[in-house]
Structure 1
Amino acid sequence: MNVVKQLRGGSLSSTCVVQRASGLYVRKTSCRANNREHGLIRLFSQKSKQNHLARIFPQYFLPVLETGLDRLTGDAYVELEYKEGYRNLFEALSENPPEATVAKIFRLVRHVIEELGCHELESRITPQALDLYFEEELIQPVAYLRQANVHPLLEKEHFTFQGHQVRNLAFRDLGSLSGHYQRASFGRETLTHGNFTLENILVSPDLEDIKLIDCYDENYVSSRYNDLSQLLQCTRAFYSASVGCRKLIDSDGVSAAFQVPRGISQFNEMLEAYLAQVLDTEERRLIDLYLISQFTRMLPFKMKGGDSPGALYYFALASSLYESFISR
């Protein structure tokens, strides 16, 4: 086996293209010794969901073809087929294709959203279910970061984010979140991808096919609202554009300099228009809360991966998003 190239992987895993006699494969590995809960166990949870969805939607989801132990490193790995010429959507949209091409890509993504949503489960998305999700993925990570005593900035009630003053999310009454989703039910749970970001959607060179990778099965509630917020994480809140850039942190605030490609902005306009068309106001506000949680839930991963500047930046972004949310 030869390693052909390294790919960008998660904070607690590595991803590369490997060549064996039978062809090219994408191999994702995780350390078996450190951070097992967020690395090894999560990787094989992803593997199970990826294969489950590949059986139901073989046209969209790539199955995991092999798992094993790398004897040289001691790491565990999973392998998927390598799709020659396919690029993730952040890469494709960052090339600023014509608007008609962006619209074609958006239609492919919309079809996946709608087909997954047609597969309803028995359980309902109740306020009690949402209480559990937001307690685990928003309230507790905020408390975790503040207790970690990463930076004096976290002790300030107000700081600046990208030049604008915001109130520190840790000083908000997050126990009142449930007041924003008190209708009896938001419908049934459905099948979801679980980590529906631009990086996890691959598009073919002719833009006629998409494949989905890196599913996630630990969202407490299997909600299309969560999937939709993960797209917005990249298109409205610019995670994909900001993740690799240098974060500037001082005693007053947090900032980062990056550019948002025109293709991303156009895709976001189409997504926002679609959500306004198919969802009511309460559903869209729930998605806004889910969007905030995408940046709080990553805080433990950022810290355990050694990226405390990233943790501070995305905590500040969550603070800014929450301020906008409650002002509307």
Structure 2
Amino acid sequence: MKNNKHEQNELQRMMEGRAARMIAAAVTVFLCVLTLFEFVALKMEWNVPALAVLSGDNGLWTREYQREELVMDGSTENILLADDGETPLTGSGENAKTNVGENGSGGTAQTGENAGNGEDLQVEGTEAVRQEETETPDVSGTGKAEADVKETQTPEFSYYIRINRKQNCVTIYTRDEEGEYTVPYKAMVCSTGLYNATPRGTYQISTKYLWRELYGGVYGQYATRIHGGILFHSVPYYKRAKDTLCTDKYNKLGQQASMGCVRLTVEDAKWIAENCPEGTTVEIYDGEDPGPLGKPEAQKLDKSDPDCHWDPTDPDEENPWQQTETSVTESEQEKQIK
């Protein structure tokens, strides 16, 4: 009897140990599959809301993306812009780093897992990214920061930029009579990072590019650095040419779609580059209300249209969309004359 009871106990312990190992193996496989799926979803830009909950802010792959994006600072394809957003600096990529230093914006770029975590990645030869490592809490549930924005940025800057990450909307504020940034001036539709890859927080913009090579072998016009590997830029292009727009990505404006950067139309990216000097504050937050001016809608491009690889808002004279608008305007003027 004693031997039978001992054998039963040994068998029970063995079964319990086997069950624990199977559970551990199942959990490990699940986490591996989830991580792989997250990686593929980011690469393919699949919008899977559940992943935002599972990944949290600035997950593993988004942090890796930001590191890779910083490496692209050294690309010879990059064309830097002066702080006025209009004047290209001589040289590009590695050669342009010297020019950046001479223009007072050289130094060391930093990025971290999220705003204010103190874990920074150093990349030599890029600009110093200055940020306030503070995140003002949303106590009302509407996305309105509790702290007064005048405490964040001195009145020497004309504009203050707020990005509603949840609603994919940018609102530009200008100063009121008391010098506070309370007057909504301009709204822009955008695409922030999938699965909250765009980090919340308050930052100051820095380096600007006429063209910048982006992670994934694509290019962006009028790129302006927000923080580390996070930038404002146009919807990506397959080549450093204005007639190679990624049409599918353009049609995603208004929803989360990027790896962390803030995508804009060319018109809006150009406006920020030209009107918001280095040091202008950018606040990234989540809110239910897009903003006081609402959320604009971007034009949807028909992939069968021969002009679909141009951004309709690009002011370039060779843009067929601009030529069409000019022809329509001239026709209307002729009718009025008749």
Using structure 2 for the length normalisation, give the TM-score: 0.25
The structure with more helix, counted as a fraction of residues = 1
Using structure 1 for the length normalisation, give the TM-score: 0.25
